[in-house]
């Protein structure tokens, strides 16, 4: 069911849109968590560290794919808010064409250079084969990432955040089942975890695509709307490429950080892997708020309701701040127990390092709220280039921790890397939002 986010209470709209997305993201993190638990418990610490060592490169490439898709659907949301259904359908069609071309190019390049990148990251010799066997499968599945994220993004741009969740739950259940089949039954090792993810995402994406065209009449186009138009492709790329680059530039900092942590040894890599998985799980509400703000901003800009943008940011920040405080309190008392999901109780050093990593991040969840809420709002407003600037600041923050802090204070430097990056990004994003709002106000009023 489509939802018009240009009318009504911003707080209620944002919360109502974000909650279904949150459940979907939690399920997504759940099956990522199951991958890690099964790998750590059945294949050992080296395999766990191998999968963890791919985290930054995974984020850099797959994050670019997801960012591009999120950017491609911004014009769709704006056309929905502006009540221009024909242009909306043209953007959707041309978005599919762009997605296919991007998917082919990225798959070829990432597969060819996969092992070389792992070597450049100083991946320890005892885990590099595990890392390669896992990430090569993920890269082969890049087209499935575009498929699901493009289709679900179109649905969300129409104001429907519930339907993608249903198919994400389907994907999660399949992923868990396939994990057991590929890893425990077929004995495929860490590659089995990768194939489980790719297979589940492909099936979910196809099912979501079929459902979408049967359900939403607004997307049913005629032959005249299914044409490749350079004007639409240009606007799609103007929104999509900067958004993808923002993810990748941010990931470059994570990659530099990962390379620095790799020099500390597999124990620290394993601790960062477990901590990152916990972090990803607890940060789903921030991601949900961010994606919500992109749709909210896109629709309201399309409807020329600029004043509602500031109201939306204010409401989303309050929601995120409340969650941040509750999350920190819960993590303080439960982190040690959650770490046991990944390693045996005998691995006391890894458990202690994992606690150190996650609590250092949780203290700064309020700045993280600002990064997600304001950045995605700016992107939904059509100023994707500003997101690149924020990504550059995040990259610099993480690179500073990798090059300066880790050599002097060790693993604590890795723990402080993301908080430094978030504070740096916020220092830019909030003034940028004010400036972008001013530009839109002049344009419309």
What are 72-91's pLDDT values in tens digits?
Answer: 988 998 888 888 889 999 99
364, pLDDT greater than 90: yes
Residue 60 token pair = 């850099």
d(CA 358, CA 115): 29
d(CA 376, CA 398): 21
d(CA 176, CA 180): 7
d(CA 321, CA 324): 5
Non-local (6+) Cβ contacts of 169 within 8 A are 23, 24, 27
d(CA 268, CA 279): 16
Q: How far is CA 338 from CA 68, 277, 381, in A?
A: 33, 10, 39
Residue 145 token pair = 């990432």
Q: Half-sphere exposure of residue 276, counting CA atoms within 13 Å on the CB side?
A: 25
Residue 182 token pair = 């590929």
Per-residue pLDDT of 224-271, as tens digits, reads 888 999 999 999 998 888 888 877 777 777 778 877 888 888 788 888
Instruction: Give residue 31's pLDDT.
Output: 66
Residue 127 token pair = 């885990």
370, pLDDT greater than 90: yes
Non-local (6+) Cβ contacts of 247 within 8 A are 59, 60, 63, 64, 66, 67, 391
d(CA 338, CA 171): 24
The pTM is what?
A: 0.78
Percent of the chain past pLDDT 90, that is, above it, reads 34
């Amino acid at each position: 069911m489509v939802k018009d986010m240009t009318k009504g209470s911003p707080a209620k709209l944002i919360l109502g849109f974000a909650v279904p997305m949150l459940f979907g993201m939690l399920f997504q993190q759940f099956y990522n968590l199951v991958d890690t638990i099964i790998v750590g418990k059945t294949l050992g610490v080296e395999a766990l560290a191998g999968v963890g060592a791919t985290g930054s490169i995974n984020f850099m490439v797959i994050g670019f794919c997801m960012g591009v898709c999120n950017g491609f659907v911004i014009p769709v949301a704006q056309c929905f808010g502006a009540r221009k259904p024909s242009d909306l359908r043209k953007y959707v069609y041309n978005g599919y064409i762009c997605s296919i071309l991007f998917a082919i190019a990225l798959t070829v390049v990432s597969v060819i250079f996969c092992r070389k990148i792992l070597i450049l990251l100083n991946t320890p010799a005892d885990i590099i084969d595990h890392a390669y066997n896992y990430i090569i499968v993920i890269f082969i599945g890049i087209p499935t990432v575009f498929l699901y994220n493009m289709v679900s993004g179109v649905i969300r741009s129409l104001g429907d955040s519930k339907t993608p969740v249903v198919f994400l739950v389907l994907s999660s259940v399949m992923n868990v089942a396939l994990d057991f089949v590929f890893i425990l039954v077929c004995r495929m090792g860490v590659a089995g975890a990768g194939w489980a993810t790719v297979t589940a995402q492909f099936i979910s994406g196809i099912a979501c695509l079929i459902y979408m065209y049967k359900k939403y009449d607004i997307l049913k186009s005629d032959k005249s709307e299914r044409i490749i138009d350079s004007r639409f492709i240009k606007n799609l790329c103007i929104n999509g490429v900067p958004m993808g680059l923002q993810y990748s530039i941010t990931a470059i900092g994570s990659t530099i950080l990962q390379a620095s942590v790799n020099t500390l040894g597999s124990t620290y890599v394993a601790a960062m892997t477990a901590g990152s998985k916990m972090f990803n799980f607890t940060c789903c509400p921030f991601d949900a708020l961010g994606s919500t703000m992109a749709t909210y901003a896109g629709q309201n800009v399309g409807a020329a309701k600029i004043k509602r943008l500031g109201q939306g940011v204010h409401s989303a920040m309050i929601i995120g701040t409340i969650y941040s405080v509750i999350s920190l309190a819960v993590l303080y008392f439960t982190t040690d127990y959650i770490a046991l999901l990944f390693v045996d109780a005998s691995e006391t050093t890894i458990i202690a390092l994992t606690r150190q990593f996650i609590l250092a991040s949780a203290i700064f969840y309020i700045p993280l709220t600002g990064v997600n809420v304001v950045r995605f709002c700016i992107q939904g407003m059509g100023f994707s280039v500003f997101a690149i600037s924020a990504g550059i600041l995040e990259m610099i923050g993480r690179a500073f921790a990798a090059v300066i802090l880790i050599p002097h204070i060790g693993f604590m430097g890795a723990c402080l890397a993301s908080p430094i990056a978030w504070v740096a990004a916020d220092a830019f994003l909030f003034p940028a939002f004010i400036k972008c709002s001013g530009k839109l106000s002049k344009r419309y009023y």
